[in-house]
Structure 1
Amino acid sequence: MQVDFYQLAGTPIEAVVPQLAAKTLESGERLLIVASDAKLRALLDEALWTYDPASFLPHGQSGDETGADQPALLSAETDSANAAKFIMLADGEWRDAALNFDRAFYLFDADRLDEARNAWRSLAVMDAVEPRYWKQDNGRWRQGP
């Protein structure tokens, strides 16, 4: 299982989530995007609609009648109504339930740095988990040391 740590470091969450979601959907995978705050989910919902002016990223909200059919689903919970194998923890809060997925994207900013470090330490000693760290380098995501 792979856990990708993305330190936002000033990059707006509404720019990162659609970028990662687009790559996930292009690979043919489904994605569960988790954020406990309703305002953040609304911001991400709008960002997914407007990310590419020529199109949109197909998605829905957990609890909607079409949620199970959506390739990307926004939710406050880690229960995957859309049968996603990939999960994105978009609010900076690590949840151990992410380990039930094939791949996890853990997005965090400076306010959650200590929590991210603790999550890294606990995951790094698990045999079945491969944590990877990503950082911005001239506007592109690069895997860090």
Structure 2
Amino acid sequence: MTEVRFYHLIDQKLERVLPQLLELSLQRGWRVVVQASSDERVEALDAHLWTYRDDSFLPHGTSRSPDAVDQPVLITANDGNPNHANVRFLIDGAPLPDDAANYDRLVLIFDGNDDEAVALARERWSQAKGQGHDASYWQPDENGRWVQKA
């Protein structure tokens, strides 16, 4: 059964949260694919992950990279899994993949200040539960740490 985690951004930006979650995934030895909404968004995230922190290196590439299959973190706007990731991050309203059962974990990150994103996350929640996945809902506490709420 695939674990589907819903991360509700309230006073945080994706550009701050995503690198932290990717670092944790790599520390656990997971391979990751991040699905964004467009090629432009992929390029923006790629640039951001090279510069988001001076004292850290987050190995990653994009689906346009000739060595995409070797990347521990791959950013794409497509629904494939060229780097054989076991964790898939879904941002910008990316849909649950048809091959969701092939992942250990799906991580759906949505902006709680965007009514459309919240409505879409609720639809994805129902879809995940309907497909028999183990869905959980996470919000940051007053210290910014993620706490499971459902």
Letter in 2 for 1:22: E
Matched, 1:101 2:103: yes
Secondary structure of the equivalent of 1:132? strand
After TM superposition, the structure 1 = structure 2 runs for residues 1-145 of structure 1, keeping only pairs within 5 Å, are 1-97=2-98, 99=100, 100-109=102-111, 110=114, 111-127=116-132, 129-138=133-142, 139-145=144-150
Post-superposition offset of 1:50: 2.4
Aligned positions, number: 144
Deviations for 1:55-90, whole angstroms, at most 9, x for unmatched residues? Answer: 210000102111111100000112111111110002
Post-superposition offset of 1:105: 0.4
Q: 2:44 & 2:56 partners in 1: Cα distance?
A: 18
Q: Report if aligned partners of 2:140, 2:146 keep a CA contact under 8 Å in 1.
A: yes
Q: Report if aligned partners of 1:88, 1:106 keep a CA contact under 8 Å in 2.
A: yes
Letter in 2 for 1:135: Q
User: Structure 2-normalised TM-score?
Assistant: 0.87
Post-superposition offset of 1:40: 2.0
Structure 2: runs of 5+ lacking an equivalent: none
Secondary structure of the equivalent of 1:65? coil
Q: Which moved more, 1:28-37 or 1:6-15?
A: 6-15
User: Structure 1-normalised TM-score?
Assistant: 0.90
Post-superposition offset of 1:98: 5.6
Give me the identity figure in percent.
36
> Post-superposition, which runs of at least 4 consecutive aligned residues in structure 1 deviate over 4 A?
none
Letter in 2 for 1:21: L
Q: 2:88 & 2:140 partners in 1: Cα distance?
A: 21
Identify if the C-alpha distance between structure 1 residues 77 and 105 changes in structure 2 by more than 3 Å, giving closer, same or farther: same
